């Protein structure tokens, strides 16, 4: 196996199944839309028309936003919230942002620490929160994209039924927007809660998402 | 580490390109 492939197994592996799923979503979504059109004696649309339509992109964006919200919240919540016995939690005395020594900041930085971890001031403050800043930005932008493209679909249905189109500000108060949003959030939060509590008593040999198989149930914040 | 840095930017660029496309599409169909 080439070195670059071994070094990037996770990002390449998940990137490939993401692309395969997205293509699958596009093909099945196109089929579904045309099936619906046939039932209503409407004209079928081309594949290209479908993948550049607000219908397709609303579906993509509403799933993106919930995943990025999940990880953003998880990264933030695990700074302060702990779970005794969980591999997903820090040790019980580590709640909060931790000391500069623990976080290898300023004078505690190592020779090969990132430059902005050594710099101090605003640069270290930004770098100390850079993961949440970027993940949170992706969440907010994908939620915004869901609302903008969702409104196009909503208004298209409104016009089909001789009802008035709505503004963006009105759309984000509709049951359509919140139903699409919350049906995704509930599943993400359940999955995160499950990971936090199931890793107390269950194991997967070899996975860093699990404690070592022989680790005691009471061990908190260890890696497999 | 060079290939890792490339993957980091591939992910970020593709994600933000997808977001920009979706937002632009929504605004232009307005």
Tell me the per-residue pLDDT of B1-30, one tens digit each, with 9 for 90 and over: 899 999 999 999 999 999 999 999 999 986
Burial status of residue A23 (CB atoms within 10 A of its CB: 0-12, 13-18, 19 or more): exposed
- The residues, any chain, with a CB within 8 Å of residue A127's CB and separated by 6 or more, are A114, A116, A117, A119
* Chain B residues within 8 A of A11 when measuring between CB atoms: 7, 11
Measured between CB atoms, which of A7, A54, A138 is closest to B3? A7
Q: Where are the domains of chain A?
A: 1-52, 61-91+134-224
Chain A contact present for B7, CB below 8 A = yes
Is there a contact between B4 and A12 if contact means CB atoms under 8 Å apart?
Answer: no
pLDDT tens-digit profile of A154-213? Answer: 999 999 999 999 999 999 999 999 999 999 999 999 999 999 999 999 999 999 999 999
Question: How far lies A8's CA from each of A22, A62, A212, B5, B8, in Å?
Answer: 21, 28, 24, 10, 10
Chain A contact present for B28, CB below 8 A = no
The ipTM is 0.95
Is there a contact between A148 and B22 if contact means CB atoms under 8 Å apart?
Answer: yes
pLDDT tens-digit profile of A9-28? Answer: 999 999 999 999 999 999 99
Chain A contact present for B22, CB below 8 A = yes
What does the block give as tokens for A58? 């609303």
């Amino acid at each position: 196996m080439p070195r670059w492939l071994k070094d990037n197994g996770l990002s390449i592996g998940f990137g490939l199944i993401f692309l395969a799923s997205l293509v699958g979503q596009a093909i099945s979504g196109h089929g579904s839309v045309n099936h619906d059109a046939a039932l209503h004696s409407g004209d079928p649309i081309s594949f290209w028309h479908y993948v550049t339509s607000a219908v397709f992109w609303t579906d993509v964006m509403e799933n993106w936003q919930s995943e990025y919200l999940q990880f953003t919240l998880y990264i933030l919540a695990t700074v302060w919230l702990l779970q005794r016995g969980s591999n997903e939690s820090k040790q019980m005395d580590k709640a909060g942002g931790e000391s500069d020594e623990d976080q290898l900041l300023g004078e505690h930085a190592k020779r090969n620490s990132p430059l902005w971890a050594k710099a101090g001031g605003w640069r270290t403050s930004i770098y100390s929160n850079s993961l949440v800043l970027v993940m949170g930005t992706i969440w907010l932008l994908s939620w915004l994209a869901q609302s903008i493209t969702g409104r196009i679909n909503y208004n298209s249905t409104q016009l089909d039924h001789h009802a008035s189109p709505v503004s963006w500000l009105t759309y984000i108060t509709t049951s359509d927007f919140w139903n699409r949003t919350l049906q995704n959030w509930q599943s993400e939060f359940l999955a995160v809660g499950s990971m936090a509590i199931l890793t107390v008593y269950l194991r997967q040999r070899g996975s860093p998402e699990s404690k070592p198989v022989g680790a005691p149930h009471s061990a908190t914040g260890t890696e497999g | 580490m060079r290939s890792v840095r490339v993957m980091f930017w591939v992910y970020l660029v593709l994600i933000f390109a997808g977001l920009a496309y979706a937002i632009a599409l929504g605004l232009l169909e307005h």
